[in-house]
Structures are given as structure tokens and as C-alpha cells.
């Protein structure tokens, strides 16, 4: 399988993208990578590494879409056709790669992926998936931000698509799917969740387990939580904010005394495992689910390991032909 | 000031409600309390305490609305007119108390408060306020769950009402108000937040600082965050869930070795401060903002201290005549 990597996307590009690419090549003997970006800068980074050169190629471009691009995503995609992100996606549409990974501007990547890869026929809206830690492992949450305004039928279809996704990524046959809501009982929530509940309850192609409150979803009762893109993004960012707040608070407090510093030192391995557990980059970024092709968004602050994981997941989806599986499921629905 | 306390609401009633009432009486020499509930059970608890008996009275009733009442809130309120919660609110509407506190069923308390106290004229929707920890202290978030479906103009009015609330509770003259959203820039978000942004930006009676992402709001950049009741409730429960997840994980890990146990022991005071910081019960429960009277919801699992804090806050709002101040502000708007 061949993965196109936008080497210029992310806060530490191209260094960390190149690091990740090399790590992935060294771990997977059948993997090929196309690095898209500024050849001079990429070569500079590549010089530092040992890897199988026959499985890596570079497509040069000196245009990039900035993380905080002033133009709207749609405008940036149109006005910068030679941007590394756009060319990386072109590699997939033109059949030169099986999947694309970028840590660049989310809005632009989403827009470009939709414009170039297009939705699978029958897909109402593509959704962004994300992985959340839970007591027994992880859960999938979607939509994590692609569609700020959703109709109930979008959520019902997200559920169906996410089932295929969980089959491939997490090897769960008939995942338990919950609807993110502010109460457990049927009839709770806003207009969208009330209607989505009815649709999902009647949908015999999914294993719908009912409403799921955010404080319960991490207890491990579900494999997938479905929500609209506004709420999903809010949950994601609230989680990040609370974790940061807790750890900043601990750090600040611990500074204040020698005894506390000793205690923190003893607990260091636990804090490290905690951080790993909360760190979604272990699971390789977010997929735009519902497109004719594998497009993966790695976190903007991805390090080499995060890029490597994103590449591995991209390869996994391509290898399993997720797109074909999705098409089959969506076709049946129609 | 006289506060009516629903002694039967909450997970540990009437014990913790009575504990809280006694603590509040002993701390505030001018406070009077009416305990509403089963007189036999309440007397049993009161026997354990020393307090000024002249400032405490009991209104007996043996009817209660359960925490997990099978009937809808509206039905429960109508079918159980003698429920402790309803009678406690009647104490306010009949002029026998200045404020009411309950840790009972949120939906029922909201419904009963609305039915009996009624909205202030001109208030589009009452909102539930909640207090969130932030780096420099706390912030107010509303609506935390009263209105699952909101119109943009509700959010704009929540902002105005919350300004009065922050004046009284937190002594902040011109609070910085943010709109909870999934991006910082104008134009981000769903239909409701986009329109609410425009209204709030044009509202020269509030100090609107723009969109606020959940991960930034705890950094202390704002005093108030405005959102719809669905999103607010999701944020609240996500926060609770993540904190619980982090501490459960730490507990579980620490169990596994003696060295880690020592480390945890040394850090105990820090964990305790952390817990206090995250514990919203320090700030006395949630207010139903926009009603003709002070109605406060204490957390269902309130202990004596949480009840005491809720009573103190109720007293503070009554003393400052929050309702009159709100009326004045809403009148000006009309």
C-alpha cells in the first residue's frame, strides 16, 4: 500500500512528518510513502535518517495552506491548487496512492478531501471520527466536527458508517452504538437527538443501545457514540481542556514543596501512562468517513510517533478496503 | 433572610439537608430556615445537633418527588402538590421565605419553579447557571440544561442576565462574556452560535469578548460563557466524566505497587485541593435565572457542606435582591 503524506502540514513540519514517515517505513516492510512538500526542506530532514529509499518518493511543491490561513478553507483550496495538501489528495484521486494523511488545516483538508475524493453515493454527509479513551479501551466518537448543523438522518447514517469503521479499526463485529445525549431515557434531549433516537431505534442494521451521557460514555458501556459535529467538537475540546487543567494544576501545586516533588517523582510512571491513555494520537488521527478514499487528519501538534500511527491507520484502512465496504453498506441502505 | 429548604431532596436526605441547615444557621446569625419534609425523620436528625431553635421551623409533608420519578416532571409537580419541593417553593410564592433550595429532581424543580414563581416579565427563557473552575478562580456557564433547544436571542438575553448574576455572586462589575463555540473566529459554529454572535456583538449592554472554545474557557480568559442548554449540559457532564476517568485511572494504577502508594500518600494534599477546585458544590449550586424569586438546585449528591453553601448563596441572592435587579435590567431592554 502507498500512502501520500502532506509533509508541510502540522506545527512541526516537515521535521515530524518526515520522522513519522521514516518510522512507518522501518516498521512496515510493504509500505510505500510519497512525501509531498518542499523538496529541499524534506531532503534536509531525510538526511538524518536511515530507511529504504526505494519505498519513498518526494513530490515537490512550495505552496502550502497555513494552519491559520486567513482565507476561508474553500477559498484556500481553490486559490492554492499546488498546496502540499491538495497535491497529496491528488495522489489518491489519480491512483498514485491508496490513502492520504495530513496534519494541516482541518477545514481546508476537509474541504479539499470532499471536493476531490467526493462523497460515496448515498452518503448524506461525511463525518469526522475520533477516538476517546474508555475504561475498557477506547470508543469511537463521531461526528467530531465536520458538520456543525446536522439532521437526525445524518446521525442515523453516521451510526451505520461507524459500524464499518469499528469493524476494520477495532475489530469489533457488532459494536454497541450510543447516541450522545443529556439524559438516558428515551424522549430526553433536543429536537435533533429526540428524532435521531427514533430513527436509530428502528434501524435494525445497527446495535443501538440508547442514549449515552458524556459522563457514562467513558465507563466503557459503548463502542461508538454518535453526535452532531458541533456537540462532538465541544466534547473533544472540553475533554482536552479539562485534562490540561487538571495536569497544569497538579504541576503548579507540586512545585510548591520538596515532599510533593518526591511524591510526583514516585508517581511519574503513572502520570506517563495516564498521558498515553488520554493521548488520542496513539490511534492515528481522525478519518473523514464517507468519502471515496481514505483521508486522515493527524493532530496539528503531531510528533513523529503520531504521524507514524496515522500512516499505519491509513494503511490499515486502505488494505482492508474500507471504502468498498462502506459503499456496500450504503448501497444496501438505498 | 429566610430560606426554605426541601429537606427530602437529594441522595442523602434528610440527613445531609439537615446537616447543611444547621451548619448554615450556626455560621449566619441573621439566617432563618424552614425545613420542608417528613417531620419525624427531620426531628430525628435535628436531635443530633446544637443550633438556635428559634431560627428554624419545620413544615411537615410526607409526599416527595423521587430523584428518578417515573412520571414526567410536569406530571409529578401536578400530581404531587404536597411534595416537599412544591411546598418549599410555595413558601416563597406565599411570602414566607425569600429563597428556596432543593437537591431534588432537577426537571421537577425546574418545572415547579417556573410554574409557581413564573418568569420575570420580558424574560424569554430562564436558564440554569453553573460554576466552572478556571485558572484564576471560576467562571459562570449558562444555560447548563434548562433549554435543550435555544434560539439565538435566548443566548443574547442569557448574557445580559448572567451579567447581573456575576455582579452579585462574584462581585464582578463588567464581566467578560464569551460565546461557547467550536472555533474562535467570527463565522464559526452552527446556525445558532453564528446568529447569537451577531446579536451579542451588537449588544452594547454586555462586555462581549467573542467566541470561546471549551479548552480555552478554563484558562481564565472570561468570567461568563453563554451556550444553549443542550451544549452546556454536555460540557458539564463531559467535565465530570473526564475528571472521574482521570482519578479512577490514577487510583487503579496506584494500587499496583507499594512505591506508587507512597507517592500517592505524599501527594494526598494536592489531590485533595484538586478535588476541591473541581467541586462545584463549593459555589452553592445552580440558580434558575430569570424567575420571580430565588430558586437554587443543589447537586443530588450534596453533603452537608454543599447544602450549607447552597443556602448561603440563596441568602446572598435574596439579600442583594437579585430578582429586582434582573427586573430592572430586563425592563430597560424592552
Instruction: Tell me if A332 is assigned to some domain.
Output: no
Instruction: Tell me if A157 is assigned to some domain.
Output: yes
On whether both B130 and B115 belong to a single domain, the answer is no
Instruction: Tell me if B21 is assigned to some domain.
Output: yes
Identify the pLDDT of residue A334.
63
Cis before A14 (ω within 30): yes
Rounded-to-integer distance, Cα B280 and Cα B43, Å = 29
Identify the pLDDT of residue A231.
98
Rounded-to-integer distance, Cα B140 and Cα B118, Å = 23
Which residue of chain A is at minimal alpha-carbon distance from B266? A263
On whether both B245 and B318 belong to a single domain, the answer is no
Which helix (DSSP H) or strand (DSSP E) does residue B224 occupy? strand B224-226
pLDDT digits (tens, 9 = 90+) for B237-275: 999 899 889 888 888 888 888 888 988 888 888 888 888
Closest CB from B189, B238, B248 relative to A235: B238
On whether both B203 and B151 belong to a single domain, the answer is yes
Instruction: Tell me if B228 is assigned to some domain.
Output: yes
C-alpha cell at A148: 456543525
Rounded-to-integer distance, Cα A290 and Cα A288, Å = 6
Report how many domains make up chain B.
2
CA distance A76 to chain B (A): 16
- Phi and psi, residue B296, nearest 5°: -120, 130
C-alpha cell at A206: 445497527
Confidence of residue B72 (pLDDT cuts 50, 70, 90): confident
On whether both B51 and B151 belong to a single domain, the answer is no
CA distance B212 to chain A (A): 11
Please judge whether A190 and B230 are an interchain contact, meaning their C-beta atoms are less than 8 angstroms apart. yes
On whether both A131 and A174 belong to a single domain, the answer is yes
Residues of B in Cβ contact (< 8 Å) with A235:
234, 238
CB atoms within 10 A of CB A59: 19
Closest CB from A240, A241, A267 relative to B264: A267
Identify the pLDDT of residue A176.
96
Confidence of residue B282 (pLDDT cuts 50, 70, 90): low
Closest CB from B215, B231, B242 relative to A231: B231
Residues of B in Cβ contact (< 8 Å) with A252:
none
pLDDT digits (tens, 9 = 90+) for A236-276: 999 989 988 988 888 888 888 888 898 888 888 888 888 88
Q: What's A100's domain CATH number?
A: 3.40.718.10
Place of cell 510519497: A34
* Cβ–Cβ contact B243 with A under 8 A: yes
Identify the pLDDT of residue A259.
87
Please judge whether B241 and A218 are an interchain contact, meaning their C-beta atoms are less than 8 angstroms apart. yes
Residues of B in Cβ contact (< 8 Å) with A240:
214-215
pLDDT higher than 70, residue B334: no
On whether both A130 and A107 belong to a single domain, the answer is no
Which residue of chain B is at minimal alpha-carbon distance from A250? B270
Reported residue count of chain B is: 334
Mean pLDDT taken over chain B: 93
Identify the pLDDT of residue B267.
87
Instruction: Tell me if A107 is assigned to some domain.
Output: yes
Please judge whether B263 and A266 are an interchain contact, meaning their C-beta atoms are less than 8 angstroms apart. yes
Rounded-to-integer distance, Cα A309 and Cα A58, Å = 20
Q: Which residues pair with B56 in a beta bridge?
A: B33
Identify the pLDDT of residue B88.
97
Q: Which of B261, B280, B299 is the last residue of a domain?
A: B280
Which of residues B332 and A55 earns the better pLDDT score? Answer: A55
Please judge whether B234 and A235 are an interchain contact, meaning their C-beta atoms are less than 8 angstroms apart. yes
Which residue of chain B is at minimal alpha-carbon distance from A242? B239
Please judge whether B250 and A234 are an interchain contact, meaning their C-beta atoms are less than 8 angstroms apart. no
Please judge whether B182 and A145 are an interchain contact, meaning their C-beta atoms are less than 8 angstroms apart. yes
pLDDT higher than 70, residue B322: yes
On whether both B129 and B118 belong to a single domain, the answer is no
Residues of A in Cβ contact (< 8 Å) with B155:
none
Closest CB from B135, B190, B243 relative to A242: B243
On whether both B139 and B274 belong to a single domain, the answer is yes
Instruction: Tell me if A239 is assigned to some domain.
Output: yes
On whether both A78 and A141 belong to a single domain, the answer is no
Please judge whether A267 and B260 are an interchain contact, meaning their C-beta atoms are less than 8 angstroms apart. yes
pLDDT higher than 80, residue B283: no
pLDDT digits (tens, 9 = 90+) for A50-105: 999 999 999 999 999 988 878 888 888 889 999 999 999 999 999 999 999 999 99
CB atoms within 10 A of CB A191: 11
Rounded-to-integer distance, Cα A330 and Cα A162, Å = 12
On whether both A110 and A140 belong to a single domain, the answer is no
Question: What does B126-169 look like in DSSP terms, one character per residue?
Answer: -EEEEEEEETTEEEEEE-SSS-SS--HHHHHHHHHHHHHHHHHH
Please judge whether A266 and B266 are an interchain contact, meaning their C-beta atoms are less than 8 angstroms apart. yes
Instruction: Tell me if A334 is assigned to some domain.
Output: no
**For residues A152 and A159, is the Cβ–Cβ distance under 8 A?**
no
pLDDT along chain A (334 residues), means of 10: 96 94 96 97 96 96 87 87 96 96 93 95 95 87 94 97 93 95 92 97 96 91 96 94 89 88 88 80 83 94 93 95 95 75
Question: What does B99-133 look like in DSSP terms, one character per residue?
Answer: EEEE-S-HHHHHHHHHHHH-BPTT-S--EEEEEEE
Identify the pLDDT of residue A281.
64
On whether both A6 and A131 belong to a single domain, the answer is no
Output DSSP code: residue B92. H
pLDDT digits (tens, 9 = 90+) for B94-128: 999 999 999 999 889 999 999 999 999 999 999 99
Q: Which domain holds residue A230?
A: 124-288
Closest CB from A148, A182, A243 relative to B234: A182
ipTM of the complex: 0.92
Instruction: Tell me if A333 is assigned to some domain.
Output: no
On whether both A110 and A83 belong to a single domain, the answer is yes
Amino acid at each position: 500500500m502507498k500512502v501520500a503524506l502532506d509533509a508541510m502540514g502540522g506545527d512541526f513540519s516537515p521535521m515530524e512528518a518526515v520522522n513519522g514517515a521514516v518510522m512507518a517505513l522501518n516498521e512496515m516492510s510493504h509500505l510505500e510513502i510519497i512525501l509531498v512538500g518542499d523538496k529541499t526542506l524534506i531532503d534536509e530532514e531525510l538526511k538524518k535518517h536511515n530507511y529504504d529509499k526505494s519505498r519513498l518518493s518526494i513530490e515537490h511543491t512550495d505552496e502550502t495552506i497555513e494552519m491559520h490561513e486567513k482565507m476561508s478553507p474553500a477559498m484556500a483550496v481553490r486559490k492554492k491548487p499546488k498546496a502540499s495538501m491538495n497535491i497529496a489528495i491528488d495522489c489518491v484521486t489519480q491512483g498514485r496512492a491508496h490513502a492520504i494523511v495530513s496534519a494541516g488545516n482541518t477545514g481546508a483538508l476537509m474541504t479539499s478531501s470532499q471536493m476531490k475524493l467526493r462523497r460515496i453515493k448515498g452518503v448524506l454527509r461525511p463525518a469526522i471520527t475520533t477516538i476517546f479513551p474508555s475504561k475498557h479501551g477506547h470508543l469511537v466518537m463521531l461526528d467530531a466536527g465536520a458538520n456543525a448543523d446536522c439532521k437526525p438522518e445524518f446521525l442515523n447514517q453516521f451510526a451505520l458508517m461507524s459500524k464499518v469503521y469499528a469493524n476494520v479499526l477495532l475489530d469489533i463485529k457488532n459494536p454497541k452504538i450510543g447516541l450522545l445525549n443529556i439524559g438516558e431515557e428515551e424522549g430526553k434531549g433536543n429536537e435533533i437527538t429526540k428524532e435521531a433516537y427514533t430513527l436509530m431505534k428502528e434501524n435494525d442494521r445497527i446495535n443501538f443501545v440508547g442514549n449515552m451521557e458524556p459522563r457514562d460514555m467513558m465507563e466503557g458501556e459503548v463502542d461508538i457514540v454518535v453526535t452532531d459535529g458541533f456537540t462532538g467538537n465541544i466534547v473533544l475540546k472540553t475533554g482536552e481542556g479539562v485534562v490540561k487543567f487538571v495536569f497544569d494544576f497538579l504541576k503548579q501545586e507540586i512545585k510548591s514543596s520538596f515532599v510533593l516533588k518526591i511524591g510526583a517523582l514516585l508517581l511519574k510512571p503513572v502520570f506517563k501512562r495516564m498521558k498515553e491513555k488520554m493521548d488520542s494520537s496513539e490511534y492515528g488521527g481522525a478519518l473523514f468517513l464517507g468519502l471515496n478514499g481514505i483521508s486522515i487528519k493527524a493532530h496539528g501538534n503531531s510528533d513523529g510517533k503520531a504521524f507514524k500511527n496515522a500512516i499505519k491507520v491509513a494503511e490499515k484502512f486502505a488494505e482492508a478496503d474500507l471504502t468498498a465496504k462502506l459503499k456496500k453498506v450504503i448501497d444496501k441502505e438505498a
